[in-house]
Amino acid sequence: MHFNTRKPAWRLLFTLALWGLVALPLLAQNSYYFPKTKNFNPKIPTPEQFLGYGIGERQTRYDRVVAYLQELDRVSDKVSFETIGYTYEHRPQVIATITSPENHGRLEQIRQEHLQLASPAKAAPALANMPVLVHLGYNVHGNESSSTEVSMLTAYYLTANQDPETQRYLKESVVFIDPALNPDGRDRHTNWVSMHQGNPAVSDPADREHNEVWPGGRGNHYWFDLNRDWLPLAHVESRNRMEFYHKWLPNVFIDFHEMGTNSTYYFEPSKPYSSENRLIPRSTYDGLNVLLAKYHAEALDELGSLYFTKEQYDNIYPGYGSTYPDFQGGVGITFEQASSRGNKQENSLGVLTFAFTIRNHLATGLATVKASVENRETLLKHQREFYQSALTDGRKNGVRAYVYGENYDATRLRKFTKLLLDHRIEVYELEKSQRVDGQQFEKGKAYVVPTEQPQYRLVESIFAKTKEFDDSVFYDASTWTLALAYNLPHAGLKSKGALGKRVTELAPVTPLVPAQSHYAYLLDWADYNAAGALYLLQDKGVITQTVFKPFTATTASGPKAYQPGTVTIPVASQKISSDSLYKVITEVAQKKQIGFESVKTGLSAKGIDLGSNNIQTLRKPEALLLTGQGITSYEAGEVWFLLDEQLHMPISKVDLTSFPRLNLRRYNTIVLVSGAYNGLDKASVDKLKRWVADGGTLITFKSASEWAIKQGIAQGKVVSVRDTASKDLRIDFADATPTEGARSVGGSIYEVDLDISHPLGFGFTNRKLPVYRNSTTILAPAKNPYSTVAQYTKEPWLSGYVSKSNLSKIKSSAALLVSDQGQGRVILFSDNPNFRGIWYGTNRLFFNAIFFGSVIKTPGVAVATE
């Protein structure tokens, strides 16, 4: 069905009546959503006129939302429409900018002046004539769908309403309508609800309409939570948005959400202190949040809608859409509306309709615009002072600069530096090589980040470790030290010293294409891109091997030392000619931006030669990932995303329910992320055991590792955290939340000791490795001394909250185990090595498991021969 404004209204009504969807007479939409507004410009189409149905009567497909905003751009000089990028499923990410025609005429000037607020070194701009910038960000969680509908009504209201108050808003503000932060997830949910919508609509919570199938519409294409990605920027949607964000630095950002159907409405302030970030000035929380809350309360009071504040929803992690703006001199605010999750659903107060949820979000969103305009100078001044205090706080900081570097892996170093630049952090080249805290930082392979800079607060978030907390309950992580996630050597400096050249963009990589060899090529495994290069070679049918002992090769450019894990490509053993192989090597080097070396002789200058028994032929991974109801969709999505994004390697995603009749013969690698595998019956468990014994590599994370041990698929011992968690037999009801919070591990960082001579440790140059833990899966070290590949150190705690009791159990426990089973093996992680797609330190362990699993033969284990 397509409608546009030129079609007569009776046709619209007639068609709607046929569909039985006309709950309200045409144009009555406005009287429900805007009962007080009488002066709408009739030339501006309402969403209802444009779409052919009233907002709230059904879920609007994302392309229709985009089309409506484009239509407003076409018919009004108050609206401009732009595309800021594309999602993985190639939906456009769009922004409608709404302001007065006069402001539209000088938008670039407004932007330039506004950005001066963030440059304390520049003179302060005159605030009197500066518009305030308001960014309304809708629907980051795809299945919280009311707010995208709100985006259309809000855009309509601001464009069509001719009353003086709205004209003042347009004159004194620039409003960015960001209709869906997660278009792919939004449409997944829209399709689900639409295909199940009854006529009449069914309010029974058990109806299919209200219960999406796994993985639901919350995440993006790769099932990630984009409302955790503002800091790590793992995803294209976030990177596109970040570009736009820093182009404008809005004063207010609203992050629209939905929560449980039985709830009411939530807006900030969040829980004082314990839910707030210590780096953010108190004026944000005690001043701006409180100020704006009055307007939001007033809007909901007028509607008679219930709400709450202060009790929950943390505001600590800069990766949230409502927290990142606090780190940029703005104020970020979460709105949470009880979800009808569909068109209407019963709740404890009666029946919650989609239209009601839309109306609440609409009212608070418009109240935000009003509040921003009425407090325009306060907000602008706050932003200016925020960046000024960033300089003074950075100057007062004990650490005056962070140095970071990486001597062996140029790719990981680049990725991290790119992240800092994406956040507009000032980065400088290291002026001269130096040793800090026992680590060697080499000029050309290390950078310096001074704390005295406008992005001081983000710098601290990315580099500093946190061990002090106001509370033990975390909605999410309690630490996000990205320098640890990237496993990059880094250190704090007491003085910023002499800085090298400022880095504003990364120089392009010129991969080392070797001379053609008729004997062999070598690929150093220390570079992060080596795994992707290896898969590409294997996919092209190239025979690849890996070395287990160090050696010094005689290369064209002289003797060069290589570590275990180095991939060797013997020329004469290939099925293709030497010339064809050389073409492949050249192509892979360029595509993966990585260097190869060529050797003319197998005789090494030192160590093993290239025909040694300490070199094993690798097999190309054919991987399977179990998915579906009960499996943690985030972890499954992280596996899928990493293999796609970093390795360009396919993985079959198979539903758990299909497992019993699945033929496993085509797979040599199976990944079980955490989740409930109880649905697999004994025959399925036996099938998995046989497959491992026949040579398969089974990789398990967290609770899947526990399950594999309990089912006897792998040998091991699970340590219970529950047994001595509390000696108190009786605890007050009111203390339940802090008590239970202290028992869980809500996301913290630890140090493990990694056996870098083991195939799973290949490519690592340092035995100490930071790992991320957000579960209470604790595994005992293996009986076989060679099987505990990574072990928590005796003093493992690096950053984040942990209770004393949990820490004592985590100490010296196993982080990574191998259990040889017949011809195959189970590789058990106690944690998720792929957390949020950016744990570049530990996700290399996962890559090693995929590529080197088949060549692990643990000493001391008798291997059955065929």
Residue partners of 368: CB distance under 8 A and separation at least 6: 134, 136, 252, 254, 292, 295, 296, 333
Structure tokens, 237: 């949607």
Phi-psi region of 716 (alpha: psi -120 to 50; beta: other; left: phi over 0): left
Q: What's the residue count for the chain?
A: 866
Residue partners of 623: CB distance under 8 A and separation at least 6: 643, 649, 650, 651, 652, 667, 668, 669, 670, 671, 850
Angle between helical axes of 376-396 and 456-463 (0-180°, round to 10): 50
3-state helix, strand, coil in the chain (%, to 5): 35, 20, 45
Q: Using CA atoms, how far apart are residues 734 and 737, in angstroms rounded to an integer?
A: 7
The residue type of 663 is: N
3-state SS class at 134:
strand
List interacting residues with Zn ion (CB under 5 A). 141, 144, 257
Which residue from 342, 240, 228, 329 is spatially nearest to 284, judged by alpha carbons? 329
- DSSP 8-state assignment for residue 645: I
Q: Using CA atoms, how far apart are residues 116 and 103, in angstroms rounded to an integer?
A: 18
| Residue matched to tokens 């009287």 | 31
Q: Is the peptide bond before 215 cis (omega within 30 degrees of 0)?
A: yes
Q: Using CA atoms, how far apart are residues 83 and 818, in angstroms rounded to an integer?
A: 48
3-state SS class at 39:
coil
Q: Which residue is nearest to Zn ion (CB)?
A: 257
Which residue from 201, 177, 230 is spatially nearest to 19, judged by alpha carbons? 201
Residue partners of 796: CB distance under 8 A and separation at least 6: 750, 751, 752, 807, 810, 811
Q: Using CA atoms, how far apart are residues 105 and 594, in angstroms rounded to an integer?
A: 48
Residue partners of 211: CB distance under 8 A and separation at least 6: none
Vertex 537 angle, CA 532 and 541, to 5°: 140
Vertex 290 angle, CA 285 and 291, to 5°: 120
The dihedral over CA atoms of 470, 404, 244, 122, expressed in degrees to the nearest 10, equals: 90
Which residue from 831, 834, 836 is spatially nearest to 813, judged by alpha carbons? 831
**Contact present, 33 and 151 (Cβ < 8 Å):** no
Which residue from 349, 362, 494, 323 is spatially nearest to 36, judged by alpha carbons? 362
Residue partners of 811: CB distance under 8 A and separation at least 6: 792, 793, 794, 795, 796
Which residue from 709, 705, 721, 641 is spatially nearest to 673, judged by alpha carbons? 705
**Contact present, 524 and 595 (Cβ < 8 Å):** yes
Positive/negative CA dihedral, 210, 214, 219, 221: negative
Residue partners of 164: CB distance under 8 A and separation at least 6: none
